[in-house]
Amino acid sequence: MKTKPVDTAQDDETAFVYQQKFSVPYHYPVAFMRGLFDPAKGLFAEIVAGDEADKRHRCFFIIDEGLADLDLDQKIATYFDAHSEKLELIAAPMRVPGGEVVKKDLAHVERMQSAIHTHAIDRHSYVIAIGGGAVLDAVGLAAATSHRGVRHIRIPTTVLSQNDSGVGVKNAVNFKGIKNYIGTFAPPWAVLSDFDFLKSLPRAERVAGIAEAVKVALIRDRDFYLWLEENVDALATFQPQAEEYMVRRSAELHMHQIAQGGDPFEMGSARPLDFGHWSAHKLEALTNHHVRHGEAVAIGIALDARYSVLSGLLPEGEDERVVVLLETLGFRIFHPALESRDASGRLALLVGLDEFQEHLGGELTITLLSELGTGFEVHSMDGEIVQQSLSWLKARENR
Minimum CB separation of residue 230 from ligand NAD in Å reads: 25
Measured from the CB atom, the residue of 102 and 310 that comes closer to ligand NAD is: 102
Minimum CB separation of residue 16 from ligand NAD in Å reads: 39
Q: How far apart are CA 196 and CA 208, in angstroms?
A: 17
Measured from the CB atom, the residue of 167 and 369 that comes closer to ligand NAD is: 167
Minimum CB separation of residue 51 from ligand NAD in Å reads: 27
Minimum CB separation of residue 2 from ligand NAD in Å reads: 36
Distance from CA of residue 140 to its chain's centroid? 12
Q: How far apart are CA 338 and CA 317, in angstroms?
A: 23
Minimum CB separation of residue 206 from ligand NAD in Å reads: 9
Measured from the CB atom, the residue of 285 and 390 that comes closer to ligand NAD is: 285
Map residue 105 onto helix, strand or coil: coil
Which one-letter DSSP state was computed for residue 363? S
Measured from the CB atom, the residue of 74 and 391 that comes closer to ligand NAD is: 74
Q: How far apart are CA 120 and CA 148, in angstroms?
A: 14
Minimum CB separation of residue 246 from ligand NAD in Å reads: 15
Minimum CB separation of residue 53 from ligand NAD in Å reads: 31
In 3D space, the residue among 265, 264, 266, 246 whose CA is nearest the CA of residue 255 turns out to be 264
Q: How far apart are CA 310 and CA 387, in angstroms?
A: 11
Measured from the CB atom, the residue of 157 and 367 that comes closer to ligand NAD is: 157
Q: Where are the beta strands (DSSP E) in the chain?
A: 3-8, 13-18, 30-33, 57-64, 87-89, 94-96, 126-131, 151-156, 170-175, 178-185, 190-194, 366-371, 374-378
Measured from the CB atom, the residue of 194 and 221 that comes closer to ligand NAD is: 194
In 3D space, the residue among 129, 174, 330, 167 whose CA is nearest the CA of residue 257 turns out to be 167
Minimum CB separation of residue 31 from ligand NAD in Å reads: 17
**Cβ contact 333:299 at 8 Å:** yes
**Cβ contact 254:218 at 8 Å:** no
**Cβ contact 241:234 at 8 Å:** yes
Measured from the CB atom, the residue of 281 and 306 that comes closer to ligand NAD is: 281
Measured from the CB atom, the residue of 131 and 330 that comes closer to ligand NAD is: 131
Minimum CB separation of residue 158 from ligand NAD in Å reads: 3
Measured from the CB atom, the residue of 113 and 171 that comes closer to ligand NAD is: 171
Cα-based distances in Å from 109 to 93, 100, 132, 173: 15, 13, 16, 8
- Chain positions contacting ligand NAD, by CB under 6 A: 64, 66-67, 98-100, 103, 131-135, 137, 157-158, 160-161, 164-165, 168, 170-171, 180, 197, 200-201, 205, 293
Q: How far apart are CA 127 and CA 151, in angstroms?
A: 6
Minimum CB separation of residue 298 from ligand NAD in Å reads: 13
Measured from the CB atom, the residue of 103 and 151 that comes closer to ligand NAD is: 103
Q: How far apart are CA 313 and CA 155, in angstroms?
A: 39
**Cβ contact 156:182 at 8 Å:** no
